[in-house]
Chains A and B, each alone.
Chain A
């Protein structure tokens, strides 16, 4: 009889004030997934619209997975173990419906990749978290996936996140 417990689903907790804007997460993600330094193909992207207010932007594994429902070819699915969204490269047609369905427009299409890029949580051991911890910034941490449905509200377009974080850090807009 199998004695393995089901793995707890995980989530990447983002600490915005701790993020230094270094992009090591982007480098690590692309090295892990693509084998080369390729920030454009990173599944996490750091935006910075105001100095000192960087905003890491990645999939938050919305409890209702609107991207998965929107996919017309069933290329997207949910990994039961981690809760991550998985993309089947052989089924993806780059139709972009998942991007439209995503409240944060998180999935990425990049020249040179024939399928949409969405964070797969590195199947349990996110490279970005490891890298951020190695650098000592600890702005990305792995936690058990919160049952708090408000996590979906973290999926916002980068401009929205940037305005909020930027305004708080600088209390000045220009």
Chain B
């Protein structure tokens, strides 16, 4: 009998249609094969829905909302939790990570995660503790924005408990809605806020009263824990400035920051940087999440138009997407838009992406005042604020944009009687997911030319593909961090991470096995589910394993002006990448690879996908 350390081997399962609460066992061998978090979510989804994947409606009751920890949750300094299910954005699986205390609290309740199935008829919230699980009435909570909701939950439950929740956007099944936590954190990629909203689940509150499971080697764990704390606590500039420093650096230094719907990627606006925010708007610095010796967060506060807005950094992605991407270079306005997105429960990346897309279409005359209800202009805070709210509340054009950039492009083309490509060329997205604020054209930031084209999570900048596969450059690295579940910023060299994993779980997972077996196993399953897709979107690797058209346009400004992605290079690197992963020339996992990875029941499905692609 294999002993499980670091994990319980149990999931809490809740069915909101029937109101039944139960428990599911996860054998140690499954944890060993998939690690946990994103890997385990992929396995669970494949096992439960693989046969009929295409027909499963991500916003229907059949799609489970999966909240998972991993073996390192609670032990490795820092915290992340993975939110998953079938993604309403990509129709595949995204392991969407969120910084939330719910992660350790779930483990402290005797579970490795929670799986919510079905849908409730009336708004509910879930209360979880080790000895009591309750589906509570959320009728007084429904409709509340994030800031009010957190306070209301505290009043309702009488205590300050960690929670995951949705805002008005998730309630309205907005595809760009996020699952939120602690006022300012989001699991954005994947669009799982809409999945939670489709179940009428307003919040999950977890009261972690118990101990975490024992570790395999207490002494080694204690020693490595201090080693990691020492290393991470010495990252002084990151503690001081966080990712907010990217507002300047990713733009000015690496020419990879979205400006006005990615028309440019460079700027030299001195006021658009962490320096100004630090001096004027940060009221708490540093600020940390659970168990974290890095503390990269901040709380910012700004007054705009007579209203006070509170948000975090803003972190780089929010700041860039709701700032430079929308032509907004006044940081107080960026703070306001970020705070708004937090309160509405919108993913700032996807919301900024689709709003930027809309502004460009308006500028080019594809959209007009009659479509929007008002004028859209780069940098115009009032109209941008209004449009962000319209997206969250599905008002006017917001109802179309709420479907995300890809689907909005198709709908706008349909309504205007234009060929879809004519609108899609302005959509900076891959496989239904808006690309994160790290461009590829200058080659000076981290994403390689195939970063998004080959990712199983589309435009997700936290899960980029790259060469060599056996390195931090590849999606195996992200899949590993998202499955152990640890925060990238507290990570150290993989040799130490694997030692840490061994001290906690007892597993002898080597570097070799990670890159040749465990990582490819997770990615191959995600890839198959992505290519199955459906019901409303299907991806053809020959067309969709590619960058957005904009990335082939030369950068117009900055020291790398003229740079663009090279289609030849992308094709060549894709071929090399597929080959290293054991996928065929279409990027479909081969039968040999699947058997080697133990995915025997996926062989037939992969063959089917291959036949369909070749037949078309």
Question: In the complex they form, do A and B come into direct contact, defined as C-beta atoms under 8 angstroms apart?
Answer: yes
A103 within 8 A of B: no
Candidates A48, A134, A169; contact of B229 at CB < 8 Å = A134
Most buried by A among B77, B147, B290, B298: B290
Interface size class of B (residues with CB under 8 A): 35 or more
B189-217 at interface with A (beta carbon < 8 Å): 208-212, 214
Complex-state Cα separation, A37 to B234, whole angstroms: 24
Please measure, in the bound complex, the distance between the C-alpha atom of A48 and the C-alpha atom of B185, giving whole angstroms.
Answer: 15
Looking at B21-29, B57-65, B279-287, the stretch in contact with chain A turns out to be B279-287
CB <8 Å contact, B308 and A172: yes
Given A20-B288, A37-B75, A39-B104: A111 touches B209 (CB 8 Å cut-off):
yes
A24 at the interface (CB under 8 A from B): yes
Note all chain B residues with C-beta closer than 8 A to A31. 222
Residues of B within 8 A of A27 (CB): 291
Does B291 contact A24, Cβ atoms closer than 8 Å?
A: yes
Closest A residue by C-beta to B131: A111
Given contacts A36-B214, A49-B154, contact A135 B293 (CB under 8 A): yes
Nearest chain B CB to A31 CB, angstrom units: 7
Decide if A172 touches B291 in the complex (CB within 8 Å): no
Establish whether residues B284 and A169, one from each chain, have CB atoms under 8 Å apart when the complex forms: yes
B137, CB-defined interface residue at 8 Å: no
Q: A23 in the interface, Cβ–Cβ < 8 Å? A: yes
Q: Chain A, interface size: which category?
A: 35 or more
Give the complex CA separation of A90 and B524 in angstroms.
57
Contacts of A34 in B (CB 8 A): 211
Q: Which residues of A lie under 8 Å from residue B233 when comparing CB positions? A: 134-136
When chains A and B are docked, how far (Å) is the Cα of A31 from the Cα of B308? 41
Instruction: Tell me if A6 is interfacial: C-beta within 8 Å of chain B.
Output: no
Q: Is A40 interfacial (CB 8 A cutoff)? A: yes
Contact between chains at B293 and A112 (CB < 8 Å): no
CB of A158 closer than 8 Å to a CB of B: yes
Question: Cβ of B160 and Cβ of A172 under 8 Å apart?
Answer: no
Given contacts A49-B154, A51-B182, A111-B130, contact A22 B293 (CB under 8 A): yes
CB proximity of A43 to chain B, nearest CB, Å: 15
CA distance A111 to B148 in the complex (A): 31
Q: How far is the CA of A30 from the CA of B74 in the complex (A)?
A: 12
Given the complex, which residues of A lie within 8 Å of B289, measured CB to CB? Answer: 21-22
Is A41 in contact with chain B by the CB < 8 A criterion? yes
Contacts of B291 in A (CB 8 A): 22-24, 27
Interface flag for B502 (CB, 8 Å)? no
Q: How far does the Cβ of B345 sit from chain A's closest Cβ, in whole Å?
A: 16
Complex: A24 Cα to B288 Cα, angstroms = 10
B 292-327 contacts with A by CB, 8 A: 292-293, 295, 298-299, 301, 308, 310, 312
| Chain B interface, DSSP helix/strand/loop, else mixed | loop
Known: A39-B208, A52-B287. A170 touches B108 (CB 8 A): no
Selected from A37, A52, A174, the residue in CB contact (under 8 A) with B211 is A37
Residue of B nearest to A36 (CB): B211
B301 touches A172 (CB 8 A): yes
B152 nearest CB across to chain A (Å): 11
Q: A136–B232 Cα gap in the complex (Å)?
A: 10
Could you tell me which residues of chain B, from 238 to 292, have a CB within 8 Å of some CB in chain A?
239, 283-284, 286-292
Closest to A137 in B: B295
CA distance A111 to B110 in the complex (A): 13
Given contacts A31-B222, A51-B184, A158-B160, contact A20 B286 (CB under 8 A): yes
CB of A36 within 8 A of CB of B301, answer no
Q: Given the complex of chains A and B, what is the CA–CA distance between A93 and B93 in angstroms?
A: 51
Asked if B151 is an interface residue, CB under 8 A from chain A, the answer is yes
Are B212 and A36 in touch, CB under 8 angstroms?
yes
Check A172 against B211 for contact (C-beta < 8 Å): no
* Residues of chain A from 14 to 45 with CB closer than 8 A to chain B in the complex: 20-24, 27, 30-31, 34-41
Given A39-B108, A51-B183, check contact A111 B210 (CB 8 Å). yes
Q: In whole Å, how far is A55's beta carbon from the nearest beta carbon of chain B?
A: 10
Q: How many Å lie between the Cα of A24 and that of B229 in the bound state?
A: 10
A47 at the interface (CB under 8 A from B): yes
Closest Cβ neighbor of A51 among chain B residues: B183
Q: C-beta contact mask, A151-174 vs B, less than 8 Å → 1, else 0?
A: 000000010000000000111101
B540 within 8 A of A: no
For A134, what are the chain B residues with a Cβ–Cβ distance below 8 Å? 226, 229-230, 233, 293
Return 11 A-B CB contacts under 8 Å, by A number: A20-B292, A23-B290, A27-B291, A37-B211, A40-B209, A51-B182, A51-B287, A51-B299, A135-B229, A170-B299, A170-B310
Query: Chain B residues in contact with chain A, CB under 8 A?
Result: 74-75, 77, 101, 104, 108, 130-131, 147-148, 151, 154, 160, 182-184, 208-212, 214, 218, 222, 226, 229-230, 233-234, 239, 283-284, 286-293, 295, 298-299, 301, 308, 310, 312
Given contacts A22-B292, A51-B299, A135-B229, 17 further A-B contacts (CB under 8 A): A20-B287, A22-B291, A22-B295, A23-B290, A23-B291, A31-B222, A48-B160, A51-B184, A51-B312, A52-B287, A134-B233, A134-B293, A136-B293, A169-B284, A170-B283, A170-B310, A172-B308
